[in-house]
Amino acid sequence: MTVLVGHDTQTRALLQAARSGRMHHAWILAGTKGIGKAGVARALALRLLAEAAGPAIESDGLAVPESHPIRRLIEATAHPDYAELAPIEKDGVTARNISVDQVRGLQRLLQSAPSLSTRRIVVIDSADDLERGAANALLKTLEEPPTYTVLILISSNPHRLLPTLLSRCQGIQFHRLSSSDIRKIIQSQLQEAGESLTESELDFHAQRSQGSVDRALAENFTEMEVLREELLEVLEKVSFDRMDIVFAFAKTWARQTEQLQSVLNEFLGLIRDLALYRSGCGQSDIQNRNLSAKMILVAQTRSLKAWLDRFTAVRNTQIALSGNANAQLFLENMLIEFCETA
């Protein structure tokens, strides 16, 4: 199991609630996708089930020794008092939602008493994926919670959940992980897989993660390096004297609709860093530090207002392209606005 990093305050609050003897029957762990909420939920479930069944664990926190029999049962997916609800995967394809039949199956399980201790735990990853009927079926369980059962719901968008479901759960907010925490998690996962990254690659993933492990691991270092250098060159050279850049860029990326929003996000990140350099901020505030030597020079070629105007132009283009706007036309317009701020 991957070592848990970060979220110490949330972990302590959950453990204190459990050990107080007044553990709420349902919790929502809320926060941005990919920051480790589900990992904390599973680790908490393991720890509480291990404490309830014994033998006793000497260490504090969520850690459970590898030799503990409850850990072995859960890792073998054979623990009778632990269940997870998630979209079902079949033939390599994962369903979009958690179905009402899955929730009804869970309800049948909850009708019986726990087998190995006085505690049963269910993790729902994620509550955002519940079908409407499944959410209503779960609500009935929350209204009449089975004795000794704790339900832990994971949510990246709790505001989209049924208000009546939210009202029956105790919420706890999770925050983005720090770059140093992201780095530790990546190194741990790589070690488990017998793989490695260079220091430059680790820095790249950690700095651009925005506190999310999923985001940190989703990007290809080499591909993103090439893309960022291309975009930085556009930001440096585009002008009314170089309209060839405007038309070539717009024509190329307008055809790649699936990647276009990601490219515009890269533009925003670069312009943000350029604006920070222009305003005199230090390296600690910069996301794209490995490009710092060139970015420091490029930043000085425009005023702070010009960089902020370019940022606004990109953001407005993103909004327009979220609808059915003509991609090439709006990209050309965006780059012409770049020229006007030159």
Provide DSSP, 198-241.
-HHHHHHHHHTSTT-HHHHHHS-HHHHHHHHHHHHHHHHH-SGG
Percent of the chain with pLDDT over 90: 63
Query: Residue 308: its pLDDT value, please?
Result: 96
Angle, alpha carbons 207-39-31 (nearest 5°): 65
pLDDT at residue number 77: 93
Within 68-99, residue ranges assigned H as helices are: 69-75
For range 5-19, the mean pLDDT: 90
- For residue 124, which of 97, 146, 143, 95 has the smallest C-alpha distance? 97
Is residue 4 pLDDT above 80, yes or no? Answer: no
Residues 6+ apart with CB under 8 A from 295: 232, 270, 273, 274, 277, 286, 288
Instruction: Look at residue 233 and tell me whether its pLDDT is greater than 60.
Output: yes
Residue type for position 133: G
Handedness of CA 190, 187, 49, 98 (dihedral sign): negative
Q: What count of other Cβ atoms lies within 10 Å of the Cβ of residue 114?
A: 20
Q: Is the peptide bond before 55 cis (omega within 30 degrees of 0)?
A: yes
pLDDT at 128: 94
Predicted confidence at residue 323, as pLDDT, reads 82
Task: Please answer whether residues 290 and 200 qualify as being in contact, where contact means their C-beta atoms are separated by less than 8 angstroms.
Answer: yes
Separation CA 138–CA 161 (nearest Å): 12
Q: Using CA atoms, how far apart are residues 148 and 141, in angstroms rounded to an integer?
A: 13
Distances 70 to 81, 107, 301, 333 between C-alpha atoms, Å = 10, 23, 62, 61
pTM of the model: 0.74
* Average pLDDT of the chain to the nearest whole number: 90
Report the C-alpha gap between 245 and 265 in whole angstroms.
Answer: 19
Give pLDDT, residue 209.
80
Q: 274-289: per-residue pLDDT in tens?
A: 999 999 888 778 888 8
pLDDT band at 27 (very low <50, low <70, confident <90, very high): very high
Residues 55 and 68: beta-carbon distance below 8 Å: yes
Percentages helix, strand, coil for the chain (3-state, rounded to 5) are: 60, 10, 30
pLDDT score of 3: 60
Tell whether the model's pLDDT for residue 179 goes beyond 90: no
pLDDT at 338: 95
At 317, is the pLDDT very low, low, confident or very high (cuts 50, 70, 90)? very high
- Average of per-residue pLDDT across 291-309: 94
Question: For residues 109 and 88, is the Cβ–Cβ distance under 8 A?
Answer: no
Q: What pLDDT sits at residue 219?
A: 74
Task: Please state the rounded mean pLDDT for residues 158-187.
Answer: 91
SS3 of residue 29 by DSSP: strand
Mean pLDDT of 266-272: 94
1, pLDDT greater than 80: no
pLDDT, residue 285, reads: 80
Of 193 and 157, the structure prediction assigns the larger pLDDT to 157
Find how far residue 239's CA is from the centre of its chain: 37
Can you say whether residue 176 is alpha, beta or left, with left for phi > 0 and alpha for psi between -120 and 50 degrees?
Answer: beta
pLDDT in tens, 33-88: 889 999 999 999 999 999 999 898 888 889 999 999 999 999 999 999 999 999 99
Residue 2 has pLDDT above 70, yes or no: no
